[in-house]
Amino acid sequence: MFAFAIRSLAQGVLVLVTVAFIAFSMFRFVGDPVVNMLGQEATQQDRQELTERLGLNDPWPIQFARFLGDAAQGEFGVSYRQGRKVSDLIKERLPATLELAVLSAIFATGLGVLLGVYAAINRTGILSNLIMSLSLIGVSLPTFLIGIGLIYIFAVELRWLPSFGRGEVVRLGWWSTGLLTESGRKSLILPVLTLGFFQLTLIMRLVRAEMLEVMRADFIRFARARGISDRSIELSHALRNTLIPVVTIAGLQLGSVIAFAIVTETVFQWPGLGALFVNAVQFADVPVMSAYLMFVAAVFVIVNLTVDLLYFILDPRLRSGRRVAKGH
Amino acid sequence: MTTFRKSLWLALIASTFAVGVAEARTLKWARSGDSLTLDPHAQNEGPTHTLSHQIYEPLIIRDHTGKQLPALATSWKVTSDPTVWEFKLRTGVKFHDGAEFDADDVVFSLERAMQPTSDMKGLLTSIEKVSKVDAHTVHIKTKAPNPLLPNNLGDLFMMDKGWSEKNNVTKVQDFKNKEENFAVRNANGTGAFMLVSREPDVKTVLKRNDNYWGKSEVPLEITEVVYTPIKADATRVAALLSGEVDFVQDLPVQDIERLRKDNKLRVNSGPENRTIFFGFNIGDKDLKSDNVEGKNPFADVRVRQAMNMVVNRQAIQRVVMRGESVPTGVIAPPFVNGWTKELDTPPAVDVAAAKKLMADAGYPNGFSVTLHCPNDRYVNDEAICQAAVGMWGQLGIKVNLVSQSKSIHFTLIQKQPPESDFYMLGWGVPTFDSDYIFSFLYHTRAGSRGSWNATRYTNPEVDTMIQSLSGETDLAKRNATIAKIWSILHKDVVYIPLHHQTLAYGMKSDLDIPVDVSNQPKLKMISFKRS
């Protein structure tokens, strides 16, 4: 397992460098940051000077090499848009995104598994059918529409929940959390629902389908023959065997929830990394864009690694397979 | 009643009275983008100046109509030497940290704004030297007579020399350095509001400066300002509708009608200092993006006239802009010196006459060309271009529309030589004088002039006249030259002006914030309606 982890890590680094390479080769098409950094009175000469100062005149392989060198030391430069250190910006925005993503993932996985199991066991019930029909909405409606719809109902019409921002946050060292204040918790509800809704329906439908599959398997029939109670079969035998693909999907989805909360963050003016990235793209703020893309790549590498490791715990065959291999 | 009780009652009454007077009024203010930095000389950009205007002050400020008012300078005049301006400074003004404002701060601030890394230096290129005469008098010597120098000082904010030295911000941020400048998130101005906290892109809190020098001159009723950028249009409007914000600075045009009908809200709209227009490559021998070999159709003034004539500005105003624009025939908003009603009147739409002009020019069946358009800069920019493309189609001109982000679009225009043959652009005039328009949009591209002129239009006669404007101290003569330049440019149809952009502010009905032509509302001027 140790060798496996090392190999995965090495692959991870390779992925990071590749992402950085591709990202860098594309930045030229985002536009020229100098245009945004100088006022309209700037002369041709001012622009050339600034381009020179920023090192944007160098061929991009050189810029790329410089970026890699700095990144290896944890140095991502200064944001062209805000004049602040990119590492500070990311550190400042990370808690908002992580809080949102983790809560959405918990919401989606918890409720998704629950509803999925219910829909699988009571296949013909009215409630199950209702759940399944509703889940179609979650799969088919775009996130921003769900977000705006929720804002309209709960913020504008009912005025129960805020329409934007994080509310009051409490600082714990460099971390900031909205969970400790009432306005912070209220502010979390709509973005979490919006971000988690798609994942929820996805996981639910997956659990239901897998569960139905497993329930037809031989070992379930034998378990029934042994006289084990239905409840025990469903929850311990069947569910456990259902979980392997669910963990894979849920893990990958967590990665994309962290990385691509962009839409939800924009709709709710959520001060996270996604919103930071959107602003950076519009300004052609290369240092922030490159750091963000590296961050996203890192998240996916870590999540994948964790998912791989989780298989060992969930699937005894992988462990025994290794033992057998060792025995030879 | 015992004396003790009596005094207790008195104290109680006194305290309620005090609370009554110092009524706390918070203004929750939202707009689509945040200020980029609090450093007043680091970015020459609208939203950045808007926030700075609440905290810092210039020597001369403009009110919402564009009229100049004394701020930190009480009077200004040209001395007997026409190249030297004298500014008398306001006395008794204190920075937020208590330091006295004087001539040293003015010299320091203007010199700071002229540094190579400053983004404000472009407005101060005419200055040779700033010098202190006494504690409250400053002389600005210009390289040549500059009768309009005060026009350029409206967004040049005064910093405290002592504070800047103490915090090591005597230099404007250099992006080459990998450190943040202290002035980016901290501020010490003389303005009506003081910075309490700043989280860029999230929230900025200001509180009223109770020692403000001008508190007897302005209402100054707002005690606290909470400024939040909200990028998504729908969310910004929702926040206003739900009462979470009091004042939204940029309303999307499609929502204005609906918000006007809400009696809890007020919508104020008015012209902005910005004109939208199309420019074409007039100068090249041949266009890269057209299908005419060896010739440039735009070089023929008849083609330009024809294209100008078929643009139905009223239809664009009605359909694309939902009534929120002012159709025009000139790239100068009404409050700019040099604007006239005749120039502003767009040509009548006449497709038949335009077709004849095209035929006379040798293009009876039109031609094809590429139009570059931004999609994230002006109000409904891409939709305007789409509408205009259809209108030119009536002449057989097949326009391929390329809409891109402003970061790419502006690069095409600024490159030398420019990389677009036909493009959309918008122009604001911070100096409120035609010279600014001529210098950037019409003068041949050379040196510091013509940097936004991607038309390759070059007219030596016009160039000479433009250059004469900056040194002309006789204002009547100067205005005559301006009128003459406009008449030549108008005849040459160098651009197709489309409309002046309109601004719409949304607010709760107990507020009445007038639209500021520079889109930089000054909150000290705002008073609440007593209900």
H helices within chain A, ranges in order? 2-26, 33-37, 44-54, 60-72, 86-121, 126-140, 143-150, 182-215, 218-225, 230-232, 239-259, 262-267, 273-283, 286-314, 316-327
Asked if A85 lies within 8 A of B175 by C-beta distance, the reply is: no
Strands B73-78 and B368-374: unpaired
What are A257's two structure tokens? 């929830």
Segment 156-175 of chain A within 8 Å of chain B by CB: 156, 159, 162-166
List for chain B the helix, strand, coil content (%; round to 5): 35, 25, 45
ipTM score for this prediction:
0.86
Of B122, B228, B242, the CB nearest to A156: B242
Residues A170, A165, A155, B257, Cα dihedral to 10°: 150
The answer, for A186 touching chain B at a CB cutoff of 8 Å, is no
- Rounded CA separation B413/B116 (Å): 23
Q: What is the pLDDT of residues B85-139, one digit of tens each?
A: 999 999 999 999 999 999 999 999 999 999 988 999 888 989 999 999 999 999 9
Percent of chain A with pLDDT over 90: 32
- How many CB pairs below 8 A link A and B? 159
Fill in the amino acid letter for A23: A
| Cβ-Cβ contacts under 8 Å for A281 (sequence gap 6 or more) | A30, A289
Please tell me which of the candidates A40, A78, A162 has its beta carbon nearest to residue B175: A78
What integer pLDDT is reported at residue B228 of this predicted model? 95
**CB-CB: which of B37, B200, B242 is closest to A159?**
B242
Q: pTM higher than 0.90 for the full model?
A: no
Tell me, yes or no, if A21 comes closer than 8 A to chain B by beta carbon.
no
What would the mean pLDDT of B252-259 be, rounded to a whole number? 91
CB contact A276 to B (< 8 Å): yes
Round to whole Å and give the CA distance between B147 and A280.
Answer: 40
* B175–A83 C-beta distance less than 8 A: yes
Closest to B276 measured CA to CA, from B381, B375, B353? B381
Question: Touching check for B461 and chain A: CB below 8 Å?
Answer: no
Going from the C-alpha of A145 to that of each of A138, A194, A272, A277, the distances in angstroms are: 11, 9, 20, 21
pLDDT attached to residue A320: 55
B241 to chain A, any CB pair closer than 8 A? The answer is yes
Tens of pLDDT along A181-222? 999 999 999 999 999 998 899 899 999 999 898 888 888 888
CA gap B224, B130 in Å, rounded:
36
Write out chain B residues lying below 8 Å of A150, CB-based.
Answer: none
What HEC string does B47-109 produce? HHHHHHHHHCCECEEECCCCCEEECCEEEEEECCCCCEEEEEECCCCECCCCCECCHHHHHHH
Q: At what angle do helices B301-310 and B351-361 cross, to 10 degrees?
A: 160
Q: Are B68 and B62 in contact (CB under 8 A)?
A: yes
Do the chains contact at B178 and A75, CB–CB below 8 Å? yes
CA distance B40 to chain A (A): 13
A263 — contact with chain B (CB < 8 Å)? no
Contact present, B54 and B191 (Cβ < 8 Å): yes
Residues of B in contact with A49 (CB under 8 A): 116
Whether residue A278 and residue B231 make contact (CB cut-off 8 A), yes or no, is yes
Cross-chain residue pair B406–A31, CB shorter than 8 Å = yes
What ranges do the domains of chain A cover?
Answer: 2-72, 89-282
| Mean pLDDT (chain B, rounded) | 92
Find chain A residues with C-beta within 8 A of B200's C-beta.
82, 84
Decide yes or no: CATH 3.20.20.80 for domain A89-282: no
pLDDT level of residue A71 (50, 70, 90 thresholds): confident
What's the pLDDT score for residue A234?
82
User: Which residue in chain B has the smallest CA separation from A166?
Assistant: B202
Q: Are A238 and A117 in contact (CB under 8 A)?
A: no
What is the separation of C-alpha B122 from the centre of its chain, rounded to a whole number of angstroms?
Answer: 15
Cα→Cα distances B271→B32, B237, B335, Å: 19, 21, 10
Q: How far is A84 from chain B (nearest CA, A)?
A: 5
| Segment among A13-22, B275-284, B347-356 with least mean pLDDT | A13-22
Chain B residues close to A162, C-beta within 8 Å: 242, 244
Question: Per the CB < 8 Å rule, is B238 touching A77?
Answer: no
**Could you report the per-residue pLDDT of A12-22, keeping only the tens digit for each?**
889 989 988 88
Contacts of B36 in chain A (CB under 8 A): 81-83
Residue type, B2: T
**pLDDT band at residue B23 using 50, 70 and 90 as cut-offs:** confident
Report which secondary-structure segment, H or E, holds B258. Answer: helix B253-260
Q: Between residues 60 and 79 of chain A, which touch chain B (CB distance below 8 Å)? A: 75, 77-78
Q: Taking CB atoms and an 8 Å limit, are B232 and A267 in contact across chains?
A: yes
Query: Are A44 and B451 a contacting pair at CB < 8 A?
Result: yes
Residue type for position B84: V
What pLDDT is stored for residue B340 in this prediction?
Answer: 95
Amino acid at B515: V
* Contacting residues of B for A88, CB less than 8 Å apart: 180
Cross-chain Cβ contact B451/A53 below 8 Å: no
Phi, psi of B300 (to 5 degrees): -90, 120
Q: Determine the Cα angle at A90 with ends A86 and A93, to 5°.
A: 135
Indicate whether B46 pLDDT > 60: yes
The chain B residue lying nearest A264, using CA atoms, is B232
Say whether residue B254 is in contact with chain A using an 8 A CB cutoff.
no
Residue A306 confidence (pLDDT)? 84
Residue found by looking up tokens 């918000």 in the block: B259
